[in-house]
Copies of this chain bind each other. A is one copy, B any other.
């Protein structure tokens, strides 16, 4: 229901949100952590740069970095950037009689899309990594650098 590219984008953004304090992270590191094919992730990351969600930095010590803090980037921002949710605002059959009000079928479908959009807009990357009482961290990598060594 959501494309592979969107899934990969979300994994990468979540990882980069978690790793933000450490600065730039390279394609290979992100790919390894999120288990995404490296060459393909490279293209996905470039897209996120073009869109303005990430900054790419070349050379030693370079890599990718969020352009905003995790609190200010939502799941919707990411999904909308790589695979926009196309809301149904006009009749797909282009029926004149549906110009103002969608038929029940498309009304229902668009309501479902609206629900989805709302859920995505209400979730920030911070919500994905800062889970106080949550039993599991985002993924194996999350916070791994920051946990006390015990």
Contact = CB atoms under 8 A, between A and B. Distances in A.
Interface of A: 1-2, 7, 10-11, 14, 34-35, 75, 85-86, 91-95, 97-98, 101-105, 108-109, 111-113, 115-116, 119-120, 123, 127-129, 131, 134-140, 142
A142 B105 CA distance: 12
A87 to B, nearest CB: 9
B108 A123 contact: yes
A104 B138 contact: yes
A14 B140 contact: no
Given A97-B140, A139-B98, A140-B95, A127 B104 contact: yes
Contacts of A120: 112
Q: How many copies does the complex hold?
A: 2
Nearest to A91: B139
Given A112-B119, A119-B111, A138-B103, A85 B1 contact: yes
A127 B107 CA distance: 12
Contacts of A101: 135-136
26 contacts: A1-B1, A1-B2, A1-B86, A1-B113, A10-B105, A10-B109, A11-B93, A11-B105, A93-B139, A97-B140, A101-B136, A103-B128, A103-B136, A103-B139, A103-B142, A104-B129, A104-B134, A104-B136, A105-B139, A108-B123, A108-B128, A111-B119, A112-B119, A112-B120, A115-B116, A115-B119
